[in-house]
Amino acid sequence: MQENFEIKKLTSFKIGGQIARVYFPETEVDFVEVMAREPQAVVLGNISNVLISDDGYSGAVVLTSGMNNISINGTTVVADCGVKGQKLAQTVAKAGLGGLEFMIGFPGAVGGEVFMNASANGQAISDNFIKARCYCAERGVFELNKEDMKFGYRSSICQEKNIKVLSAEFELEEIGAEKVEARMASCLEFRRSHQPLLNLPNCGSIFKNPSGDSAGRLLDDCGVKNMVQGGVKVWENHANFIVNPNDGSSLDVLELMAKMQGAVEEKFGIKLEPEIIYLGDNNKREEELCKMLYQKTQK
């Protein structure tokens, strides 16, 4: 455990202040012990879809990056929650296994990607998912199969019940390394043209797609691509991304999100729901903005 941990360099947004207590478990046993000690701790993987306040967070955070084992048995693959999506995609590709190539461009880790049923290029985590080992305070460690997970668009039962994913098992298809590599190259090319790469600090998609429509289309129709707030701006190639080219702040991001959300609500009567998570409890203005953006203060 480290106290007053500077988190900024570990976030994909390159934004964030001090976290009061940060834990780095490496095994399932470590994780359970930490959660018993810190039942209110926030669990994060690669900190890729999280905006952390520059004024920090006074609670505890568990970073699962040390839980990063991958095992392959035939066409069955088990990955710990802290395994980065890119690493998993590359590892199974070498084994000639198809089904996870869409993860090659993902900045997140397996735990978070299962938690939110991450998807891209017509594929989703749920497609090849078999089961996961999970944790919650009431049940301890337990397993959930695909039906139990109640996967939906950017959703799973884990979000409803505050369940943490410890590892996930997938059943893949043996199609040969060459074919998988070709699919991954196609996914990467699509990502380069539609989403900013991580050398331009960003947090992924800002808002979820509303039912039957695209958040990017709605935002683009509202002309948000010319919006700048402090050191951050809306990415010029896709209106549903905020990038941080000039050392912007967490407040810059929230102010810009509020403008984006407000523009769509005013023009279309649709209130976009943020996809990214906010973590912070020391800035009054940020809390006010979160009440508007999320309709409640996020922690």
3-state helix/strand/coil string of the chain:
CEEEEECHHHCCCCCCCEEEEEECCCCHHHHHHHHHHCCCCEEECCCCCEEECCCCEEEEEEECCCCCCEEEECCEEEEECCCEHHHHHHHHHHCCEECCHHHHHCCCEHHHHHHCCCEECCEEHHHCEEEEEEEECCCEEEEEEHHHHCCECCECHHHHHCCEEEEEEEECEECCHHHHHHHHHHHHHHHHHHCCCCCCCECCCCECCCCCCCHHHHHHHCCHHHCEECCEEECCCCCCCEECCCCCCHHHHHHHHHHHHHHHHHHHCCCCCECCEEECCCCHHHHHHHHHHHCCCCC
Q: Which is the catalytic residue, given 38, 154, 181, 287?
A: 154
Q: Which of 146, 162, 194 is the last residue of a domain?
A: 194
- Burial bucket for residue 95 (CB in 10 Å: 0-12, 13-18, 19+): middle
Residue 174 is a catalytic residue: no
Q: Is 205 a catalytic residue?
A: yes
Predicted local confidence at residue 192, as pLDDT = 80
- How far apart CA 188 and CA 191 sit, in angstroms, is 5
Domain range for 120: 70-194
Q: Which of 167, 205, 249, 250 is catalytic?
A: 205
Rounded to two decimals, what is the model's pTM? 0.90
Instruction: Specify whether 51 is located in the same domain as 81.
Output: no
My answer on whether 259 and 185 are in the same domain is no
Q: Answer yes or no: do 131 and 46 share one domain.
A: no
**Same-domain pairing of 166 and 219:** no
Q: Are residues 113 and 187 in the same domain?
A: yes
Tell me, yes or no, whether 57 and 147 share the same domain: no
Residue 264 lies in a domain: yes
**Domain co-membership, 82 together with 161:** yes
Q: Which of 45, 63, 81 is the last residue of a domain?
A: 63
Residue 119's pLDDT is: 87
pLDDT value at residue 36? 96
Q: Are residues 31 and 58 in the same domain?
A: yes
Residue 6 lies in a domain: yes
Q: Which of 28, 171, 275, 287 is catalytic?
A: 275
pLDDT (0 to 100) of residue 279: 97
Q: Is 183 a catalytic residue?
A: no
CATH number at residue 228: 3.90.78.10
Residue 208 within any structural domain of the chain: no
Number of domains forming the structure of the chain: 3
pLDDT in single tens digits along all 299 residues of the chain: 999 999 999 999 999 999 999 999 999 999 999 999 999 999 999 898 899 999 999 999 999 999 999 999 999 999 999 999 999 999 999 999 999 998 987 878 999 999 999 888 788 999 999 999 999 999 999 999 999 999 998 899 999 999 999 999 999 999 999 999 999 999 888 878 788 876 899 998 999 999 999 999 999 999 999 899 999 999 999 999 999 999 999 999 999 999 999 999 999 999 999 999 999 999 999 999 999 999 843 44
Task: Establish if 150 belongs to a structural domain.
Answer: yes
Considering the domain architecture, whether residues 55 and 92 belong to the same structural domain is answered as no
